[in-house]
Structure 1
Amino acid sequence: MQTDYLSVRLFRLKDPMQPFDKSNREYMREVSFGTISPQEVESYKSCLNIVEPLFPLSWWNDKQTYFEMKYSHTTEYKEYFDATDTCIRYLKHKTFDPINAALQCKSTQAQSKDLDKGQIEFTDANVFLNYNERHALELSDPFVYGEYTIKKDFGCQHHLRGAQPYCDICQKSFGCDICHNDEVLDHELNWKDVKKVVCCNCNKLQDINHKCKYCWFKMSNSFCHVCKEIITLDPETEPCYHCQKCNKCHRNAIEKLCITCPECNECYAPKNANDHICSNQEVNCIVCQGQITHNTDFVTLICSEKHKIHESCLQQLYNNNQGHSCPVCRKSLLDSLTTQKQQMTVVEFIVNQKPDLSSHKVNIFKCKDCNILQADLNYFCCRHCWLQNVDEIADVVLTSKQFKCLLQGQKIEDNVQYQKEINQFGEDLQTYKEVFSPIHSKASRFLNIELKHGVWIMIWLCAIAYALQYISKR
């Protein structure tokens, strides 16, 4: 049985000021990033030409593994990557500036060519640094990058593996214990109970070990005689060790970087601190309310360390188009790059919108992220985070006089519902003139028309008065 896995060639740029062409890459090492599902294979195939920034070159050490180099700098890592492990160093604005974004939407700068286009993700001129700025940063603080390829090796969808566990009850072998437990419902297979395995290279049944006694094929990169688990993990990216304190094998961890929980005396890596679950503490999935254990695949949401969810439940939310906000607090779960892209999209829409001012209607809504009540005319957009993660509350129809005050940025003195929020929107219209320019341009014509109507009414009233006076004299 063979499965697909990601192989990554680590490289640096030979000339930091030149593009990411393959001729400008100095390759340093090749590592494996584990198995991928058939669905992920298709997803990765579409972006294999895109390289990924991994960590600063200053962290590189030939005597250390990829895992050690990356996770020995947990504090510094936060300066380059956000909570979703997305690189943020190329963002144009660390704090989103809607006025600058609006000016860029109107300029031709966003259409400028980038020599890195198609080779690295950060080439949208609206959101990221331009080519010269990006490579000047590379010159002062060079990075290690990853070039992905898809390869095949022995294993199942869960792990690369040189041997398959043999179940004495079923009297046949399976890809792994998870494959067995998914297929067989009347009993479970635990690695500690496995006595025999089938070599993936010669298909011969034998006692469990890290090497095949028939063909001498290396079935495992690391083998624990206590846990007896055979996994061909790449020590570079997925180290494994057996802890004497908690008598357990730890994957994706090295002993010198692990800490011991004072509550349950169990070890975990600092990078997994938010995901650690004490054995004497019950944690439930926020969607299905099923118990989350160390053996289940789960995710800790970025909104709160207490919000944990099964990966399968999260995937189901995405399938239903509900995976972009937390089911509990309803805050946005977007990473930094996606957030900035959506903010730019929102501003671009507002800049190019065609507002309807004829109805005198104002929409009231509440932002789920900022928890602030706000008003707008045609578009539900929070003016604090510039996202659309909002709840509609009510509609307020203003009088002609009140609507004029709103468009001119003047205070509405009359007692109307949601008066504070409506007046704040009037102020924001003036503050963000570049963003709300369509409303300003249309409002000026709207107010001029109203003014002209008033002048004509006065003229007609005067004409009627003179006519009546003339008739009365006769």
Structure 2
Amino acid sequence: MEVSAKERLDFGNMGYGCKHYRRRCKIRAPCCNEIYQCRHCHNEATSMLSNPFDRHELVRYDVKQVVCSVCDTEQPVAQVCTNCGVNMGEYFCEVCKFYDDDTEKGQFHCDDCGICRVGGRENYFHCKKCGSCYSVSLCDNHLCVENSMRHHCPICYEYLFDSLKDTIVMKCGHTMHCECYEEMIKRNKYCCPICSKSVIDMSRTWKRIDEEIEATVMPEDYRYQKVWILCNDCNDTTEAYFHIIGQKCSHCRSYNTRSIAPPVPQ
């Protein structure tokens, strides 16, 4: 029975690939001339090499040759196999040399980022100052930090810009992995690891500290001593009464402060 053009293109769909992507081709890494399922497989393998000088990462744009997983034909980068006619990837980006059969991810190429993203183009916008795509819910609703995504996660130190893990933009504008953020909060750490600003609403905590300070009278020698403090939340420098529990910023009422001068005797 004659196979239709569509059946030929769809043959093997979602049947090949690796733990990172479902695709019907492998890539030849131009840096070491070896064949891998994808660039992440290459990077994971080379990162384990005993000689540190042999460790390297594949530059996605440099890939020139792919190998069809269905018929094992090596050929220049293209979406359709020149030999058996299958789609080597339902989603294909000629710029990134990227293939993926799982189109439910909503892949799209962002020209400003220079790489492919997932989640649907209609759900994201590119912030030129932050240098990355963000959810449309953050459009005009986030604090811009120049190139905030082109840094390493402050917790696990993985590069954020092209990480496969979900990221979060904190109130201060800095970014980190969602899972790292959740673990940080779980451990009762509520300050950004980069700038030390509070990342959640701390008003209830500040009220509780107010009550603790009111109930905890300092010894006579320290009761009226003052200290200069810097507020991590508003960056204001103020003078406050010294207390063992904490010093309150008179500008924004935050206890996320640190002393910058010793207590001043009164």
Q: TM-score by structure 2 length?
A: 0.52
Equivalent residue for 1:181?
Answer: 43
1:329 aligns with 2:182: no
Equivalent residue for 1:238?
Answer: 105
2:119 to 214, 236, 252: 252
Correspondence 1:191-270 to 2 at 5 A: 191-234=60-103, 237-245=104-112, 247-254=114-121, 256-263=122-129, 266-270=132-136
Q: CA 1:251 to 1:206, structure 2 compared with 1: closer, same or farther past 3 Å?
A: same
User: Which consecutive residues of structure 2, in runs of 5 or more, have no partner in the other structure?
Assistant: 1-12, 48-53, 192-201, 217-266
1:295 to 157, 162, 176: 162
1:239 touches 1:253 (CA, 8 Å); kept in 2?
Answer: yes
Say which one has the larger Rg.
1
Q: CA 1:271 to 1:239, structure 2 compared with 1: closer, same or farther past 3 Å?
A: farther
1:242 touches 1:249 (CA, 8 Å); kept in 2?
Answer: yes
Cα distance in structure 2, aligned partners of 1:276 and 1:199? 43
Residues 136-157 of structure 1: CA distance to partner in whole angstroms, max 9, x if unpaired?
Answer: xxxxxxxxxxxxxxx9631211
Cα distance in structure 2, aligned partners of 1:277 and 1:153? 42
1:163 aligns with 2:25: yes
Cα distance in structure 2, aligned partners of 1:177 and 1:280? 24
Correspondence 1:68-467 to 2 at 5 A: 153-185=15-47, 186=54, 187-234=56-103, 237-245=104-112, 247-254=114-121, 256-263=122-129, 266-270=132-136, 278-279=146-147, 283-288=151-156, 290=157, 292-300=159-167, 304=171, 306=173, 308-310=175-177, 314=180, 325=186, 328-329=189-190, 370-371=204-205, 372=208
Cα distance in structure 1, aligned partners of 2:165 and 2:109? 22
2:126 touches 2:132 (CA, 8 Å); kept in 1?
Answer: yes
Amino acid corresponding to residue 263 of structure 1 in structure 2? K
Q: State the SS of the aligned residue for 2:40.
A: helix
Q: State the SS of the aligned residue for 1:178.
A: helix
Between 1 and 2, higher relative CO (CA 8 Å, sep ≥ 6) is seen in: 1
Q: State the SS of the aligned residue for 1:154.
A: coil
Q: CA 1:300 to 1:220, structure 2 compared with 1: closer, same or farther past 3 Å?
A: closer
Cα distance in structure 2, aligned partners of 1:188 and 1:279? 22
What is the deviation of 1:374? Answer: 11
Residues 348-390 of structure 1: CA distance to partner in whole angstroms, max 9, x if unpaired?
Answer: xxxxxxxxxxxxxxxxxxxx99422699xxxxxxxxxxxxxxx
Cα distance in structure 1, aligned partners of 2:143 and 2:22? 24
Cα distance in structure 2, aligned partners of 1:201 and 1:324? 47
Residues 406-431 of structure 1: CA distance to partner in whole angstroms, max 9, x if unpaired?
Answer: xxxxxxxxxxxxxxxxxxxxxxxxxx
1:299 touches 1:308 (CA, 8 Å); kept in 2?
Answer: no
Cα distance in structure 1, aligned partners of 2:129 and 2:170? 24
Q: TM-score by structure 1 length?
A: 0.31
Q: State the SS of the aligned residue for 1:189.
A: coil
Q: CA 1:303 to 1:164, structure 2 compared with 1: closer, same or farther past 3 Å?
A: same
Q: State the SS of the aligned residue for 1:184.
A: helix
Identical residues among aligned pairs (%): 23
1:292 touches 1:310 (CA, 8 Å); kept in 2?
Answer: no
Amino acid corresponding to residue 19 of structure 2 in structure 1? Q
What is the deviation of 1:202? Answer: 1.8
Kindly indicate which of the two structures has a greater share of residues assigned to helix: 1
Amino acid corresponding to residue 147 of structure 2 in structure 1? S
What is the deviation of 1:176? Answer: 0.9
Amino acid corresponding to residue 59 of structure 2 in structure 1? N
Cα distance in structure 2, aligned partners of 1:282 and 1:232? 28
Query: Number of residues paired by the alignment?
Result: 179
What is the deviation of 1:257? Answer: 4.6
| Aligned-residue RMSD, C-alpha | 4.1
Amino acid corresponding to residue 253 of structure 1 in structure 2? G
Q: CA 1:213 to 1:266, structure 2 compared with 1: closer, same or farther past 3 Å?
A: same
What is the deviation of 1:210? Answer: 0.7
Cα distance in structure 2, aligned partners of 1:245 and 1:160? 26
Q: CA 1:169 to 1:228, structure 2 compared with 1: closer, same or farther past 3 Å?
A: closer
Amino acid corresponding to residue 189 of structure 1 in structure 2? L
Q: State the SS of the aligned residue for 2:102.
A: coil
Cα distance in structure 1, aligned partners of 2:185 and 2:110? 38
1:303 touches 1:326 (CA, 8 Å); kept in 2?
Answer: no
Q: CA 1:210 to 1:260, structure 2 compared with 1: closer, same or farther past 3 Å?
A: same
